[in-house]
Amino acid sequence: MNHLIAFVSGFILDLLFGDPHFMPHPVKVMGSLIGFLTKKLNNGSGRKAKGFLMMLFLIVFSGGMSFLILFFAYDLNQYFGIVVEAVMTYQCLAIKQLRRESMLVYRELKKNDLTNGRKAVSMIVGRDTDKLNEEGVTKAAVETVAENTSDGIIAPMIFLAIGGPVLGMIYKAVNTMDSMVGYRNEEFGEFGFFPAKTDDVLNYLPARISAVFMISACSTGRDFDAKNAYRIWKRDRRKHASPNSAQTEAVAAGALHVQLAGDASYFGEIHHKEFIGDPDRTPETEDIKRMNDLMYATAFLGEIISVLGIAAVMLLSGAC
């Protein structure tokens, strides 16, 4: 019962507060540690092995610290343990923060401020944004909300439901490593190999579950076409170098009747990508807002199903 209360409370905390800048966040600690280790290890020979060792260390560190914090919190007091677990659960999710940052892009574009729109979207995407037009900025924002509905919400939610903050933080560690060093270029191609592949494995099922949830969530609003979302997902879900990224992007493209993906510049180099979806209409600024609405509906559906799953396990095990 403690886990269920903390799981629901963490979800509510994320909906209410997001990630305040003044509050220490474990992902920032992970990022600093990854940056430090990358500078020390990503050189010379044996980079692939060094990348594997860094990943192993981050997994043990993140999981071990989470376990110890929870162990001592619950040992001190049951209710204190629930509070600590709820906060750790909250820190694994990114619902409000994803909306906050993507809607900043929306507000800048609504003010016809393309320069600041580019700056805002550069904070949430890895591609070069300095030459994007309004449509390009909009597409980038929609794509990152769609992809992070899986990576930042449903995937950690699944791991949290199964293994609490210990498994949730391990997932966040691997996902953060992938976002920082999982690039297929000369600098990170070898060093980031194992973090990238491990992230692909961890996200394989969650990405597909996220797509199913998102298709189902299309029924919550008139702006979304569930039938077309399913059609485009079935057709385009493999149109990405990653085995997972196109899953929710394809659903979003179909739901909104827009075409996403295509060529993009990373570190000054053009990467050729297949288009996802049909160009039924040109992406518009309002699509960022619509995508956020779909993200929220998907998150709520994921939470409800996760809670039912936890409750079912508790009933079967006689824990309640």
Q: How many CB atoms lie within 10 A of CB 265?
A: 14
Angle at 215 between CA 209 and CA 218, to 5 degrees: 140
Q: Provide the domain count of the chain.
A: 1
Which pLDDT score is estimated for 320? 56
Residue with tokens 């199913």: 212
Query: Does the model's pTM come out above 0.85?
Result: yes
Q: Phi/psi of residue 270, each to 5°?
A: -75, 130
Q: CA 185, 188, 194, 197 torsion: positive or negative?
A: negative
Provide the residue range defining the domain that includes 200: 2-317
Going by pLDDT thresholds of 50, 70 and 90, the confidence category of residue 112 is very high
User: Is the distance from CB of 218 to CB of 300 less than 8 angstroms?
Assistant: no
The pLDDT tens digits of the residues spanning 234-266 come to 999 999 888 998 999 999 999 999 999 988 887
- Write down the H helix ranges in the chain: 2-17, 26-41, 47-76, 78-92, 95-110, 114-122, 134-148, 155-181, 193-217, 226-236, 245-256, 286-317
